[in-house]
Amino acid sequence: MTAAQVAALVGGRLVGADRSISGVGPLDSAERHELAFAEGKVPEDNKAGVLLVREALPGRTCVVVANPARAFARLLAQLFPEVDGLLEQPRGVDVDQPAPSTWVETFVHPTATVHPSAILGVSSAVHAGAFVGAWCQVGAGTVLYPNVVLYPGTIVGDRCRIHAGAVLGADGFRYQSDPKGPQKVPQVGRVIVGDDVEIGPNCVIDRAFLEATRIGDGSKLDGLVMVGHNVQIGRGAVLAAQVGLAGGVKVGDGAMLGGQAGVAEHREIGAGAMVAGQSGVGRDVPPGEAVLGSPAMPLRVARRVYAVLPRLPELVRAIMREKG
């Protein structure tokens, strides 16, 4: 691929001599046969053959665009074609050759299991070892990576990526005391996932008691996240790795939860709220508010508390002296 081809692809302007690249690299280690992008200043010793930048550099081959990061993302999507959601060639692809068709009609791997009553959308993919139970629905363009499990009745929207090992729709965790010992209450609801949702590897999303555990359009869950029964997640929410939401929690549109944060039963995280990593939320968080700590405090309060916390022993000594 040449710099001129890159410029055409991302709608940029070639400045300097055209040249070939065979791959891409990070700004600090790209080599002469590679392209790198820069948001800010390019280091003196940079060796990249082609630079994707906002302003041309003298003596260098540059592709000039308004937004280098966005242009780079588009270039990557072109350079590294996917088939059924999996990268076909992880590095140094020669795109002078015609790209393979990047998508097939409803791919189901021979080792996957799809119940006859399940419905798979066009251009969806069910990879090796994945399981799609009775009455499930999988939307158009959605990819179920290897060993994903959808329990019966689970509904996943369009263009979702459910990563390897994620389990959607297992029973919530609910027992009814009974003279014969605790009896399991059948959880007959389901999980409903919207469009453009990404669910990370080995996540667990439990089904609801009667209605649905819901994950709204465009929300993103990183790996090993636990979503309890009857949780309602809005649109565009972001849950970092290992977050845990207990049963009945509500998460508003665009809320963000940091890694390992936990939210107690039935609590509400308002739209646009921010829960810092490892926080433990035992109360409702109003829309737009940022909280930190276990138990969670408003971010500003928590920062001050944690700043003085190491001095607590000294404080105790000071007081004891005065009283003594």
- Residues noted as catalytic: 229
Cα(49)–Cα(60) distance, integer angstroms = 8
Of 136, 191, 201, the closest CA to residue 162 belongs to: 201
Instruction: Compute the least distance from the CB of residue 35 to a copy of itself, in Å.
Output: 11
Backbone dihedral angles phi then psi of residue 4, each to the nearest 5 degrees = -65, -40
Instruction: Compute the least distance from the CB of residue 58 to a copy of itself, in Å.
Output: 26
Which residues inside 272-301 make contact with a copy of itself, applying CB under 8 A? Answer: 277-278, 280, 294-295, 297, 301
- Binding of residue 99 to a copy of itself (CB under 8 A): no
Beta-ladder partners of 62: 15, 51
Neighbouring residues of 42: CB distance < 8 A, sequence distance ≥ 6: 27, 51, 53, 57, 60
CA 165 to the chain's CA centroid = 15
Which residues inside 38-67 make contact with a copy of itself, applying CB under 8 A? Answer: none
* Stretch of 6-14, 41-49, 57-65, 77-85 contacting a copy of itself, by CB under 8 A: 77-85
Of 159, 151, 165, the closest CA to residue 118 belongs to: 151
User: Which tokens belong to 168?
Assistant: 């959607």
At which residue do the structure tokens 């002078």 appear?
Answer: 96
Query: Residues 12, 157, 216, 218: which binds a copy of itself (CB under 8 A)?
Result: 218
Residue pair 124/106 in contact (Cβ under 8 Å)? The answer is: yes
Binding mask 128-147 for a copy of itself (x = CB under 8 A): xx-x-xxx---------xxx
Instruction: Compute the least distance from the CB of residue 277 to a copy of itself, in Å.
Output: 6
Residue with Cβ nearer a copy of itself (18 or 28): 28
Instruction: Compute the least distance from the CB of residue 295 to a copy of itself, in Å.
Output: 5
Instruction: Compute the least distance from the CB of residue 242 to a copy of itself, in Å.
Output: 5
Binding mask 232-271 for a copy of itself (x = CB under 8 A): ----x---xxx-x-x------------xx-x-x-------
| Ranges of H-type helices in 64-175 | 68-79
Cα(134)–Cα(149) distance, integer angstroms = 12
Query: Residues 8, 77, 104, 119: which binds a copy of itself (CB under 8 A)?
Result: 77
- Binding of residue 102 to a copy of itself (CB under 8 A): no
